[in-house]
Amino acid sequence: MQEHHAVIITGMTGTGKTYLACALAQQACRRGHSAVYRRASRLFDELAIARADGSYARLLGKIARVDVLVIDDWALTAPREAEKNDLLEILEDRCGNRATIMTSQVDPKHWHQLLGDPTVADAIVDRVLHRAHKIVLKGPSKRKEETTNP
């Protein structure tokens, strides 16, 4: 976090991506830093509403200033055009300035294909992956273990 790098956590459903991302954000808070957690879908919904009501620039500024931003469940579905642009704006503001943690079931090597537009994909990948710490979680779903072992 001190070096403003990104952390990309990937793995199958239930392997602990969200848990680990939130634990990292909580540790940052314990050290006096600010952190915000958003599921990707809700983050993009908030940005769409902000664009409609005229508070888009203010919301982007707020997101840019938080020390640690957790974007959970990125790429569960292919992002819409506006979502790609929103993510690029967020990452542009944060790149080299603040820490970003992203969780995804999709391996980053497939993000270009998922994003579609090669120019936007290159820009997003360049800002988040090149200085990122990548964590791949493997194993069975922890949720399934909890329901079978009461």
Q: What is the pTM of this model?
A: 0.92
What pLDDT score does 131 carry?
Answer: 81
- Chain segment 26-57, per-residue pLDDT in tens: 999 999 999 999 999 999 999 999 999 999 99
**Domain spans, the chain:** 6-142
* Strand ranges of the sheet holding 35-39, from the earlier edge strand across to the other edge: 35-39, 68-72, 99-104, 6-11, 132-137
Q: Which residues pair with 71 in a beta bridge?
A: 38, 102
Q: How far apart are CA 9 and CA 71, in angstroms?
A: 10
**DSSP H stretches of helix in 40-132:** 40-53, 56-65, 81-94, 111-115, 118-129
| CB neighbours of residue 113 within 10 Å | 10
Class of domain 6-142: alpha beta
- pLDDT per position as a tens digit, 4-22: 899 999 999 999 999 999 9
Q: Is 5 left (phi over 0), alpha (psi -120 to 50) or beta?
A: beta
Is residue 146 scored above 70 in pLDDT? no
pLDDT tens by residue, 63-110: 999 999 999 999 999 999 999 999 999 999 999 999 999 999 999 999
